[in-house]
Amino acid sequence: MANDNITGNGTRVLDTRLWAGSPQDSTAWLQAPIGSNAAVGAINMGIIDLIIPDGDAAVIYDLGLATNAITGSELIGILSIHNTTTAAANTFTVAGNISTNSLLKFITAEGQNDDVVRVTFLYR
């Protein structure tokens, strides 16, 4: 798949590991080897700014696309979507029922062309 209704590949605002999500019986969160920062099953929080050329159409951001600002293999959930350009009176339909393992999908029903949308999400 690929991005749809996005200019460029997004701008990374934050991409950080969260020390959560390891299996209950795993001790890998203790960092083995120490200092490796490699936790088994840990999740990341990503925040990206996307330029949306068609302000009232569906948007797709593909985590699996290697050239994107943030990449991963599994979408866990979209936490928030905020229009930083014309924030007042904009509504977003988070297409959670059609988002997949690696695709973030939402609809900018009342946006303007070339608005910047900030998306916060959890992923692996």
**25 in a structural domain:** yes
pLDDT tens by residue, the chain, 124 residues: 689 999 999 999 999 888 665 555 655 555 556 666 555 567 889 999 999 999 888 889 999 999 999 999 888 888 888 888 875 556 666 655 566 788 888 887 677 889 899 999 999 8
CA pair distance 10, 31, nearest whole angstrom: 31
**1 in a structural domain:** no
DSSP designation for 45: E
CA pair distance 57, 55, nearest whole angstrom: 6
Q: Say which residue the tokens 């991963």 belong to.
A: 72
**95 in a structural domain:** yes
**117 in a structural domain:** yes
